[in-house]
């Protein structure tokens, strides 16, 4: 992975700044000092960078820093497009860059009190004439494992709680287009959602048709549970899913 498009200029701006110039943009949370684009290269961290081996499409590393560490993720395509352009995306302006959009969305979700990781920094590099590459750094959640790796996987109360958490996100308008077992983290008695690439906040509406995205989120997760939780029998999966729906339908 090239951590910087050759010969580009770099602009570092504060979180949420509307300024745009040069061929690269780096957004940094005000709570973090000294972030440079080198931070987005796993080689920079040497032995402190460890590849994430569970879930996802690769291109992610745990960065062992104090106090709790970070997660570095390079944006990669999935599906057929990955064979043509695995790490590059069509450039339509930095406002459309996926890493910068996710950085800002994480800030919005945290301001709503939703359980998401804290964004550290995000970068987008314009690559050649019509393409860009992107990466993001987020604070690691101590002790967190994916839903399918959780020791509490067969615990019915966990699934009720998960349904309630998803309902909180939906009630705040968050359309998580890739809601799956790998993007749900369990840390002790807390549940977090992660990886908000291409996700968005949907404006509130009374139109029932506008709520179809909520059902798509749940259906996407249901497919993932059937695929990513082989330790559970089909009967167990069906029963636990009903507990998730009970939690989801329960009014706050």
Query: Annotated active-site positions, please?
Result: 178
DSSP 3-state assignment of 40? helix
* Distant-in-sequence contacts of 186-190, Cβ < 8 A, 24+ apart: 186/144, 186/145, 186/146, 186/147, 186/150, 186/152, 186/158, 187/141, 187/142, 187/143, 187/144, 187/145, 188/143, 190/115
Q: Give strand ranges (E) for 128-203.
A: 131-139, 145-146, 174-175, 184-187, 190-193, 200-201
Q: List Cα–Cα distances, 26 to 9, 117, 134, in angstroms.
A: 11, 19, 10
């Amino acid at each position: 992975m090239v951590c910087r498009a050759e010969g580009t200029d770099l602009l570092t701006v504060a979180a949420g700044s509307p300024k745009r110039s040069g061929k690269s943009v780096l957004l940094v949370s005000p709570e973090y000092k000294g972030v440079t684009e080198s931070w987005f290269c796993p080689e920079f961290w040497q032995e402190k960078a460890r590849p994430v081996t569970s879930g996802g499409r690769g291109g992610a590393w745990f960065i062992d820093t104090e106090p709790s560490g970070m997660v570095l993720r390079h944006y990669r395509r999935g599906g057929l497009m990955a064979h043509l352009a695995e790490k590059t995306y069509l450039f339509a302006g930095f406002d459309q860059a996926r890493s910068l959009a996710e950085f800002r969305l994480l800030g919005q979700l945290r301001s709503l009190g939703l359980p998401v990781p804290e964004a550290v920094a995000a970068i987008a590099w314009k690559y050649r004439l019509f393409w860009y590459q992107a990466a993001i750094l987020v604070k690691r959640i101590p002790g967190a494992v994916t839903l399918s790796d959780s020791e509490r996987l067969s615990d019915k109360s966990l699934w009720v709680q998960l349904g309630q958490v998803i309902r909180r996100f939906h009630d705040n308008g968050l359309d998580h287009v890739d809601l799956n077992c790998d993007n749900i983290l369990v840390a002790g008695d807390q549940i977090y959602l992660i990886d908000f690439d291409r996700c968005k906040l949907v404006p509130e509406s009374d139109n029932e048709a506008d709520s179809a995205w909520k059902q798509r989120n749940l259906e996407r997760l249901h497919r993932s549970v059937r695929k990513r939780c082989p330790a559970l029998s089909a009967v167990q999966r069906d029963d636990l899913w009903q507990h998730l729906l009970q939690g989801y339908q329960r009014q706050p």
